[in-house]
């Protein structure tokens, strides 16, 4: 029996089905690589902690992930789709994002919502992991989870609605352009973290009575360096999730403008390599060298779709070279960012956006009626996103501090958070090795150390 020859319409339908499946597979593996980011954060924060705090640093990251995924389902995704035009939500436009909507679950006619939601949920979890490392060794687990939910399922996604959405007001009104989420993810998370750091205070022994600083060294530099390299691997999934795979084979950036994975590949690798060199030149230190590679990627993220690759290399090198100086500036002002998270993400993202306003000014943005990319739009957008991160981070952590729930008691910090927050010991032999003891450059009186646990 002869088989009927498919019609042209049937062939087109089969092609569309194939492309839909390809789109789903592409984002599926982007999501998997983004999970590697969290394996990297887990590793480098554990390595940056002293032995008595190692497990707590890891558990914080895991719990942040576990709490952000459901909260992002219940209200985070709705915020992105409802607040693009400003502070008044578009209830009709966001109706499909409500948790009881037919698109928010198994639906054979909807091949896109689940994978896009999942990618955004992983972006959300990344913001909490950015904050996590800065606060190690003295923050209460419960307070961190509260802050993580607010940042990951509320604050950053509001910034994404304003700046990382085709209808976002920063894009349509100011000509803002940030294809790799340097603003809504890194700048917001970095400045939110800075606000929290001001209130949580320094670790016991970090500063002397005269204000001079002591180094508190993590127990495993190799673990931290490997963890940072895993973050870099995961970032290829992160940046892949910043590209829209459209039916018909056309790739666009988050704003709907044509781009290619090729453009992203050129500039991601060049920014990474430049960042490695920049931070190495100013520190000669492995942790900062690897952090510099991450800074390099973040700093070129706003213009990944349009930068000339050698320019991306230079930008990554310059911003990464400056970041350790930002960390030293914070230390001189008594702010204890244990892993340099603000310098890497807050400064790196902010600087990258402002610099992009110089080099991609005039690039057409979103079509007719929308301002082209311009310096004032980029710099102004960076300020808006920085304030959107810092203000809630500072105020909410201040409230938690006033309630007495932001920081562990001094005696618990001295004993180690693994014993009081987990409770378990990552390395039961740590007490015998003495590896968790802080080596200071000057004697620190006990009353000064206890006072450091209760910052003004």
341-380 residue pLDDT tens: 999 999 999 999 999 999 999 998 877 788 999 999 999 9
Express each pLDDT in 318-349 by its tens digit.
Answer: 999 999 999 999 999 999 999 999 999 999 99
Give me 109's structure tokens: 């006619």
Residue pair 435/219 in contact by the 8 Å Cβ criterion: yes
Say what the pLDDT of residue 438 is: 47
Exposure letters 186-217 (e unless 16+ CB within 10 A, then b): bbbbbbbbbbbbbbbbbbbbbbbeeeebbebe
Label residue 448 exposed, middle or buried (CB < 10 Å: 0-12, 13-18, 19+). middle
DSSP string, 401-413: HHTT-SB--HHHH
Q: Which residue has the higher pLDDT, 81 or 14?
A: 81
**266-273 average pLDDT score:** 98
- d(Cα 280, Cα 259) in Å, to the nearest integer? 32
What's the CA gap between 194 and 220, in Å, rounded?
25
H or E stretch including 194? Answer: helix 188-200
Banded pLDDT at 282 (limits 50, 70, 90)? very high
Q: Which two tokens stand for residue 191?
A: 């400045």
Contact 268, 184 (CB under 8 A): no
Query: What is the rounded distance in angstroms from the CA atom of residue 268 to the CA atom of residue 186?
Result: 16
pLDDT, position 24: 85
Q: Which residues contact 393 (CB under 8 A, 6 or more apart)?
A: 147, 151, 155, 191, 192, 193, 194, 195, 196
Domains (ranges, CATH) in the chain? Answer: 23-452 (1.10.3430.10)
Nearest to 453 by CA among 419, 400, 408: 408
pLDDT of amino acid 401: 97
Closest to 350 in 3D by CA, of 224, 223, 185: 185
Which two structure tokens, joined as six digits, stand for 108? 């054979």
Compute CA distances 195 → 151, 300, 346, 357, 437, whole Å. Answer: 12, 25, 11, 26, 28
251: phi then psi, degrees, rounded to nearest 5:
-90, 140
Q: Which residue has the tokens 């110089």?
A: 358
Write phi, then psi, for 243 (nearest 5 degrees): -110, 140
Q: Which of 56, 90, 64 is nearest to 150 (CA)?
A: 64
Strand partners, 253: 243
pLDDT tens digit sequence for 151-189: 999 999 999 999 998 889 999 999 999 999 999 999 999
> Is residue 447 over pLDDT 70?
no
Query: Does the pLDDT of residue 431 top 80, yes or no?
Result: no
CA-to-CA distance for 45 and 34, rounded, in angstroms?
17
Task: Identify the CA nearest to 153 among candidates 189, 183, 187.
Answer: 189
Cα separation, 233 vs 302, whole angstroms: 19
Comparing C-alpha atoms, which of 105, 119, 125, 109 is closest to residue 28?
A: 119
> Residues 117-164: pLDDT tens digits?
999 999 999 999 999 999 999 999 999 999 999 999 999 999 999 999
Kindly state the greatest CA–CA separation across the chain. Answer: 94
Q: What is the pTM of this model?
A: 0.90
- For residues 258 and 301, is the Cβ–Cβ distance under 8 A? no
Note whether 59 and 426 are within 8 A (CB): no
**Residues constituting the chain:** 456
Establish how many alpha carbons lie within 13 A of residue 221's alpha carbon, considering only the half-sphere containing its beta carbon: 8
What is the number of other CB atoms lying within 10 angstroms of the CB of residue 376? 12
Radius of gyration over alpha carbons of the chain, in Å?
Answer: 23
3 state SS of 8? helix
Average pLDDT of the chain is: 89
Distance CA 80, CA 277 (A): 37
What's the first-to-final CA gap in the chain, in angstroms? Answer: 87
More confident residue, 248 or 53: 53
For the beta carbon of residue 42, count every other beta carbon within 10 angstroms.
23
Rounded Cα distance, 240 and 263, in Å: 11
What pLDDT score was predicted for residue 249?
65
Q: What is the DSSP letter of 345?
A: I
């Amino acid at each position: 029996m002869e088989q009927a020859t498919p019609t042209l319409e049937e062939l087109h339908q089969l092609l569309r089905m194939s492309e839909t499946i390809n789109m789903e597979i592409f984002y599926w593996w982007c999501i998997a690589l983004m999970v590697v980011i969290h394996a990297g954060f887990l590793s480098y924060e554990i390595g940056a902690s002293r032995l008595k705090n190692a497990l707590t640093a890891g558990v914080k990251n895991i719990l942040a992930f576990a709490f952000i995924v459901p909260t992002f389902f219940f209200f985070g995704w709705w915020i992105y789709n409802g607040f693009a035009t400003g502070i008044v939500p578009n209830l009709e436009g966001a109706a499909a994002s409500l948790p009881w909507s037919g698109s928010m679950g198994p639906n054979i006619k909807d091949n896109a919502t689940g994978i896009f939601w999942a990618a955004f949920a992983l972006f959300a979890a990344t913001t909490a992991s950015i904050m996590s490392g800065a606060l190690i060794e003295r923050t209460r687990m419960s307070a961190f989870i509260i802050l993580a939910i607010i940042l990951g399922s509320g604050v950053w996604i509001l910034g994404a609605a304003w700046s990382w959405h085709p209808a976002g007001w920063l894009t349509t009104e100011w000509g803002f352009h940030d294809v790799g989420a340097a603003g809504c993810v890194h700048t917001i998370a970095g400045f939110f973290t800075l606000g929290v750091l001001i209130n949580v205070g320094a670790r016991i022994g970090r500063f002397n009575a005269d204000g001079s600083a002591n180094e508190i060294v993590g127990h495993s530099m190799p673990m931290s360096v490997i963890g940072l390299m895993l973050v870099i691997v995961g970032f290829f999934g992160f940046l892949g999730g910043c590209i829209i795979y459209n039916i018909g084979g056309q790739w666009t950036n988050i704003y709907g403008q044509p781009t290619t994975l090729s453009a992203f590949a050129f500039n991601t690798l060049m920014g990474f390599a430049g960042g490695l060199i920049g931070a190495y030149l100013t520190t000669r230190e492995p942790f900062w060298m690897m952090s510099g590679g991450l800074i390099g990627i973040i700093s070129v993220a706003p213009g990944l779709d349009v930068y000339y690759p050698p320019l991306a290399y230079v930008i990554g090198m310059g911003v990464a070279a400056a970041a350790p100086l930002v960390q030293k500036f914070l230390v001189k002002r008594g702010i204890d960012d244990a892993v340099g998270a603000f310098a890497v993400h807050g400064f790196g993202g902010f600087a990258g956006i402002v610099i992009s306003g110089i080099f991609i000014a005039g690039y057409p943005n979103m079509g007719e009626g929308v301002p082209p990319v311009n310096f004032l739009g980029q710099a102004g957008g960076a300020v808006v996103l920085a304030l959107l991160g810092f203000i809630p981070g500072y105020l909410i952590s201040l409230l938690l501090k006033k309630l007495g729930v932001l920081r562990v008691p001094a005696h618990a910090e001295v004993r180690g958070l693994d014993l009081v927050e987990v409770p378990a010991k990552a390395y039961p032999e740590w007490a015998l090795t003495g590896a968790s003891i802080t080596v200071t450059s000057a004697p620190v009186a006990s009353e000064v150390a206890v006072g450091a646990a209760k910052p003004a």
